[in-house]
């Protein structure tokens, strides 16, 4: 299944380079990638479509992995970076950076601000969701989700206030970015995402060794020597990092972290390793496909990818919530 999804990702990448306001055939795309053919087609592929498609794939993979890590952590299928407030916290911090600090700091600081915002929102959710029986992550998943929704609403209000009061000329671009868009993607952004993946994937492989025991039962995991407290902290940290990096580079694309793990588990089962690969590829295709539809279906307008994913994800979330309440 992983190989099939990988082939589908490559096919989607090729189609993304072919379609647009200026259609290019498959042979033209291959010639452009090889440095041959029409220079105009080469420019469109190399500087416009290819970095945009790659950034969409990478951001979707990061959001999907973040959702899988959070669902594994809290043992709640409703958990995702959006529902638990991570995406809204990262968005608020990133909008603050774009609106007030861009003239003073380099763009390379944006991912760090987004990660900090995601971490702060997550901490707020964890603190506010504490019950007398312990953290809601273990005792009351429903309370955790409801607290996350409340924190997301608060972060959204703060973000709107910043956009309304910001004197910066970057406010308009922040509005588009806030919805979730890879419009104007550049090679430095793609390289930045790749570097973050190179840093985070070893950590994912490290925690993956202990997750199978943790998924069965916490007491059983302790019985085989798994430090469950440390593992939970590692899962949370990786979830925050993946979500923050994705939001910093592609904006607040909602519900990718909710949909991707569910689809992946239906296809490959509950095994953590296979679910990681499938979730990353499904998340990548989801964002890339939404971006492709947004920039080709409504020409000459360019609709942000986050709008299409939000419509699909919102309906999917309601379905999961109703099924859980039954």
Give the model confidence (pLDDT) of 133-176 as tens digits.
544 344 456 677 788 888 988 988 888 888 877 765 566 667 76
Give strand pairing partners of 134. 131
What is the pLDDT, as a whole number, of residue 176?
67
The residue ranking higher by pLDDT, 52 or 220, is 52
**Residues 6+ positions from 142 with CB-CB distance below 8 Å:** none
What is the pLDDT, as a whole number, of residue 59?
95
What is the pLDDT, as a whole number, of residue 136?
37
pLDDT in tens, 188-198: 999 999 999 99
Q: In sequence order, which ranges of the chain are alpha helices (DSSP H)?
A: 2-18, 26-33, 39-43, 50-74, 86-96, 110-128, 136-139, 141-165, 171-179, 187-208, 211-216, 218-223, 228-250, 256-268, 272-296, 305-325
| Torsion angle of the four alpha carbons 158, 160, 161, 166, in this order, in degrees rounded to the nearest 10 | 120
Best-predicted range by mean pLDDT (162-171, 182-191, 197-206, 225-234): 197-206
CB atoms within 10 A of CB 36: 12
- pLDDT confidence bin for 289, thresholds 50/70/90: very high
What is the pLDDT, as a whole number, of residue 255?
87
Q: What angle do CA 140, 256, 68 make, to 5 degrees?
A: 50
CB atoms within 10 A of CB 297: 11
What is the pLDDT, as a whole number, of residue 291?
92
* Exposed/middle/buried for residue 168 (C-beta within 10 Å: 0-12, 13-18, 19+): middle
Q: Is the pLDDT of residue 3 over 60?
A: yes
Average pLDDT estimate for 178-183:
80
Q: Is the pLDDT of residue 45 over 70?
A: yes
The residue among 88, 87, 83 whose CA lies nearest residue 62 is 87
Q: What angle do CA 54, 284, 80 make, to 5 degrees?
A: 130
Residue 131 φ then ψ, to 5°: -115, 175
Average pLDDT estimate for 7-23:
92
Best-predicted range by mean pLDDT (78-92, 142-156, 282-296, 309-323): 282-296
DSSP structure string for 160-197: HHHHHH---TTHHHHHHHHH---TT--HHHHHHHHHHH
Q: Is the pLDDT of residue 287 over 60?
A: yes
The residue among 137, 97, 136, 144 whose CA lies nearest residue 116 is 97
What does the alpha-carbon distance between residue 149 and residue 85 come to, in Å, rounded to a whole number?
A: 7
What is the pLDDT, as a whole number, of residue 83?
81
- pLDDT confidence bin for 316, thresholds 50/70/90: confident
Give me 135's structure tokens.
Answer: 């953290």
What is the pLDDT, as a whole number, of residue 139?
41
The residue ranking higher by pLDDT, 259 or 132, is 259
pLDDT in tens, 82-113: 888 888 898 888 888 888 887 777 777 888 88
Phi-psi region of 11 (alpha: psi -120 to 50; beta: other; left: phi over 0): alpha
Q: Is the dihedral of CA 223, 227, 229, 231 positive or negative?
A: negative
What is the pLDDT, as a whole number, of residue 97?
86
Residue whose token pair is 């430095």: 188
Q: Is the pLDDT of residue 282 over 90?
A: yes
Domain ranges of the chain: 2-325
Give strand pairing partners of 131. 134
What is the pLDDT, as a whole number, of residue 177?
67
Which CATH architecture group holds 2-325? Orthogonal Bundle (1.10)
């Amino acid at each position: 299944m992983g190989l099939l999804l990988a082939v589908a990702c490559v096919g989607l990448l090729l189609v993304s380079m072919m379609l647009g306001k200026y259609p290019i055939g498959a042979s033209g795309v291959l010639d452009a990638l090889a440095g041959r053919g029409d220079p105009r087609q080469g420019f469109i592929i190399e500087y416009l479509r290819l970095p945009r498609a790659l950034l969409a794939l990478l951001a979707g993979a990061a959001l999907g992995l973040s959702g899988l890590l959070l669902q594994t952590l809290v043992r709640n299928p409703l958990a995702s970076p959006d529902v638990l407030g991570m995406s809204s916290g990262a968005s608020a911090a990133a909008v603050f950076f774009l609106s007030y600090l861009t003239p003073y700091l380099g763009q390379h600081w944006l991912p760090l601000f987004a990660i900090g915002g995601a971490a702060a929102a997550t901490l707020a959710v964890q603190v506010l969701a504490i019950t007398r029986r312990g953290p809601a992550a273990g005792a009351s998943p429903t309370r955790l989700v409801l607290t996350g929704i409340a924190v997301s609403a608060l972060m959204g209000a703060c973000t709107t206030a910043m956009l309304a009061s910001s004197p910066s000329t970057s406010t308009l671009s922040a509005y588009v970015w806030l919805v979730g868009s890879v419009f104007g993607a550049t090679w430095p952004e793609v390289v930045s995402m790749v570097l973050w993946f190179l840093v985070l994937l070893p950590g994912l492989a490290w925690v993956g060794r202990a997750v199978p025991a943790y998924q069965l039962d916490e007491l059983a995991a302790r019985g085989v020597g798994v430090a469950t407290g440390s593992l939970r902290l590692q899962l949370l940290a990786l979830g925050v990092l993946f979500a923050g990096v994705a939001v910093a580079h592609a904006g607040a694309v909602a519900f990718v972290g909710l949909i991707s793990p569910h689809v992946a588990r239906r296809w490959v089962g509950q095994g953590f390793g296979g679910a990681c690969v499938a979730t990353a590829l499904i998340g990548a295709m989801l964002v890339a496909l939404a971006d492709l539809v947004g920039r080709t279906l409504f020409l000459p307008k360019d609709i942000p990818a986050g709008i299409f994913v939000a419509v699909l994800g919102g309906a999917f979330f309601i379905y999961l919530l109703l099924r859980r309440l039954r």
